[in-house]
Amino acid sequence: GNSVTQMEGPVTLSEEAFLTINCTYTATGYPSLFWYVQYPGEGLQLLLKATKADDKGSNKGFEATYRKETTSFHLEKGSVQVSDSAVYFCALSPIKAAGNKLTFGGGTRVLVKP
């Protein structure tokens, strides 16, 4: 079946540090890949996505590249802010998914200290 594995947190950083959250997946074919972010007390919201190999998704200074050869979609940001403190979820949507079914990873909590 489909699965998403992401690094366990929490990840604690200082402001302006470089952030990387690893995400690898297992799926049949070439799924679409997503990063969702959950700020404290809120629901998830889409951060970025990539729909085919070598695509780079980007938003709010975050980037992730769809690597078919390593089945990975690592999230990066060059200089984090306190406001980036949140839980980040990697997810995939198989090509032949029932509806818009997303398979989520376990989430990575990021805490940015001033």
Partner 1 sequence: EAQVTQNPRYLITVTGKKLTVTCSQNMNHEYMSWYRQDPGLGLRQIYYSMNVEVTDKGDVPEGYKVSRKEKRNFPLILESPSPNQTSLYFCASSFRSGPNTGELFFGEGSRLTVL
Q: Which stretch binds partner 1 (CB under 8 A): 13-21, 28-36, 56-64, 66-74?
A: 28-36
- Based on the shown chain and the rule CB under 8 A, indicate whether residue 55 belongs to the binding site for partner 1: no
Which of 101/113 has CB closer to partner 1?
A: 101
Span 75-114, contacts to partner 1 by CB under 8 A: 89, 91, 93, 98-102, 104-107
Q: Supply the minimum distance, in Å, between the C-beta of residue 114 and partner 1.
A: 27
* Alpha-carbon distances of 14 from 8, 50, 54, 70, 90, rounded to whole Å: 18, 28, 30, 29, 23
CA distance 23 to 4: 7
Q: The dihedral of CA 109, 20, 5, 26: what is its sign?
A: positive
- Based on the shown chain and the rule CB under 8 A, indicate whether residue 40 belongs to the binding site for partner 1: no
CA 60 to chain centre: 13
Q: Is there a contact between 6 and 104 (Cβ–Cβ < 8 Å)?
A: no
- Based on the shown chain and the rule CB under 8 A, indicate whether residue 35 belongs to the binding site for partner 1: no
- Based on the shown chain and the rule CB under 8 A, indicate whether residue 70 belongs to the binding site for partner 1: no
